[in-house]
């Protein structure tokens, strides 16, 4: 037996099944909305239709019930939801918002929209979410909020982070794009902070193509998010809103078509979630037999919903760098249907630590003069140099392996092919 990298027979040549979670129910829902003639019912003024049409409002009620929150506000993306959340907590120019470096870029650009400065805090070495100790060290008198991300399907350390926020009198915004349905000591991820944001983007656990949801138990925050979502400045006078802070509105509105699909997806969410968890648990058990691989950790008191299957790699144990090991594993496997151009959905690291992006390295966001990194309200110069978050950088360059080869409708046979590829490379690593 020899590795496919050297001309041997690969473990698998047949493409893995596409991530298809749409069915007849979504087709029927779309037809129903089209037949109604109401593709959107929002009006950007104070009117009974300010809150959207029947499908949007039904989705919001059903979402609130499923996730145990008082308010659920539909938006057209998780990015929009994060922007609205940052505005709703009263962010001022020159404020600082603590963010992790390992997340989707929108988590760290949301503060910039309101003239605030992202301050990066390192991540945990085993759970990969923002590290409470790093958060505590990053707090200053200008800190407005902590942006806590539920990364890869695991909730952030809400006990520690929320306690830090209460101690300093600041808000917590939870980016729950990747962990809907995860539990933290019995509470739903997304509902752990002052305000939480979900994603309905096409590669999430359930989706509407594009879309998002903002949740909170705070009446004032919910009201502000609804205003920001739908042209706040045109509504506040007639509505009687007197607090005009961040009441410059946007159009973050979800359509009736998307909401109808979202309702169907929500109805089968628990079934899809159980399949994802079952697949991931089985694959973890197989990969745990390989000495150089540590499967995803599940935080004490939490459940994991596996947006991706994120493992740790020990190069010293394997005797070769991560990239060489993954090159060999990828050669044993096949692409996924509908995503053939991406190759095997397996990679080393996640996104490059975000403070290394040009926007932070050059400190250019709005205009050419460096705003908000340079502004009269906050003379401090934020740090974005390499080495700022050493744990994140080490994970990205050497230790983290993440893949998507456990999502429904992957079968046990599909999962065995993935595990067999890792095992084959491990057993023949001396040939690399």
- Which tens digits make up the pLDDT trace of 160-200? 999 999 999 999 999 999 999 999 999 999 999 999 999 99
Mean pLDDT of all residues in 263-270: 98
Whether the predicted pLDDT of 339 surpasses 90 = yes
User: E strands along 111-165, which residues?
Assistant: 117-120, 143-149
Given 27, 70, 204, 224, the catalytic residue: 204
- How confident is the model over 104-123, as pLDDT tens digits? 999 999 999 999 999 999 99
Domain ranges of the chain: 4-16+268-351+392-431, 24-267
| CATH T-level topology, domain 4-16+268-351+392-431 | 3.90.1150
Residue 224 annotated to the active site? no
In terms of C-beta density within 10 A (0-12 exposed, 13-18 middle, 19 or more buried), how is residue 172 classed? buried
Q: What is the pLDDT of residue 124?
A: 98
Q: What is the pLDDT of residue 1?
A: 86
Q: Give residue 432's pLDDT band: very low, low, confident or very high (50, 70, 90).
A: very high
SS3 content of the chain, % helix, strand, coil (to 5): 40, 15, 45
Q: What is the pLDDT of residue 191?
A: 98
For residue 382, give both structure tokens: 């934020």
Whether the predicted pLDDT of 252 surpasses 90 = yes
- Average pLDDT, whole number, for the chain? 97
Q: What is the pLDDT of residue 159?
A: 98
Find residue 262's DSSP bridge partners: none
Q: Give residue 257's pLDDT band: very low, low, confident or very high (50, 70, 90).
A: very high
Query: What is the percentage of the chain residues whose pLDDT exceeds 90?
Result: 99
Cα 327 to its chain centre, rounded Å, is 27
How many Cα neighbours within 13 Å face the side chain of 410?
25
Q: What is the pLDDT of residue 380?
A: 86
pTM, entire model = 0.97
- Measured at the CA of 77, the angle between CA 273 and CA 338, to 5 degrees, comes to 60
Q: What is the pLDDT of residue 96?
A: 98
- How confident is the model over 383-393, as pLDDT tens digits? 999 999 999 99
CA dist 145 and 194 (Å) reads: 10
To the question of domain 24-267 being in CATH 3.40.640.10, the answer is yes
Q: What is the pLDDT of residue 353?
A: 98
Q: Which of 324, 329, 321, 345 is nearest to 398 (CA)?
A: 321
Which letter does DSSP use for residue 116 in this model?
Answer: -
Whether the predicted pLDDT of 381 surpasses 90 = no
| Residues 6+ away with beta carbon under 8 Å from 16 | 333, 334, 335, 336, 337, 345, 405, 410, 414
Tell me the residue length of the chain.
432
């Amino acid at each position: 037996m020899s590795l496919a990298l050297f001309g041997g027979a690969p473990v698998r040549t047949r493409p893995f099944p596409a991530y298809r979670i749409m069915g007849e129910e979504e087709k029927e829902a779309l037809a129903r909305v089209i037949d109604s003639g109401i593709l959107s019912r929002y009006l950007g003024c104070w009117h009974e239709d300010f809150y959207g049409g029947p499908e949007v409002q039904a989705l919001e009620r059903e979402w609130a019930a499923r996730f145990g929150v008082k308010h659920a506000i539909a938006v057209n993306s998780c990015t929009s939801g994060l922007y609205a959340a940052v505005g709703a907590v009263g962010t001022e120019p020159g404020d600082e918002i603590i963010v992790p470096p390992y997340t989707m870029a929108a988590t760290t650009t949301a503060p910039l929209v309101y003239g605030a400065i992202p301050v990066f805090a390192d991540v945990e070495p085993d759970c990969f979410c923002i590290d409470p100790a790093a958060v505590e060290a990053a707090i200053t008198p200008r800190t407005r909020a902590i942006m806590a991300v539920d990364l890869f399907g695991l909730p952030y350390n809400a006990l520690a982070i929320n306690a830090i926020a209460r101690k300093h009198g600041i808000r917590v915004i939870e980016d729950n794009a990747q962990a809907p349905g995860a539990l933290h000591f019995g509470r739903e991820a997304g509902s752990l902070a002052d305000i939480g944001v979900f994603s309905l983007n096409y590669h999430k656990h359930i989706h509407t193509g594009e879309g998002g949801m903002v949740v909170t138990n705070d009446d004032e925050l919910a009201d502000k998010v609804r205003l920001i979502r739908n042209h706040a400045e045109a509504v506040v006078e007639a509505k009687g809103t007197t607090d005009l802070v961040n009441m410059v509105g946007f159009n973050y509105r979800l359509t009736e078509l998307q909401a109808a699909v979202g309702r169907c997806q929500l109805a089968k969410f628990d079934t899809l979630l159980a399949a994802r968890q079952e697949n991931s648990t089985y694959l973890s058990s197989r990969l745990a037999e390989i000495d150089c691989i540590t499967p995803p950790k599940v935080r004490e008191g939490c459940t994991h919903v596996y947006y991706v299957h994120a493992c740790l790699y020990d190069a010293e144990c394997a005797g070769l760098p991560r990239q060489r090991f993954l090159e060999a594993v990828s050669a044993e496997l096949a692409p996924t249907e509908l995503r053939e151009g991406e190759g095997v959905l397996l990679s080393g690291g996640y996104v490059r630590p975000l403070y290394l992006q040009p926007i932070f390295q050059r400190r250019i966001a709005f205009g050419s003069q460096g705003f908000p990194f340079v502004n009269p309200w906050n003379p401090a110069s934020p740090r974005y140099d390499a080495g700022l978050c050493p744990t994140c950088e080490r994970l990205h360059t050497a230790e983290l392996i993440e893949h998507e080869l456990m999502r429904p409708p992957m079968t046990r046979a599909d999962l065995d092919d993935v595990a067999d590829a890792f095992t084959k490379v491990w057993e023949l690593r001396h040939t690399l």
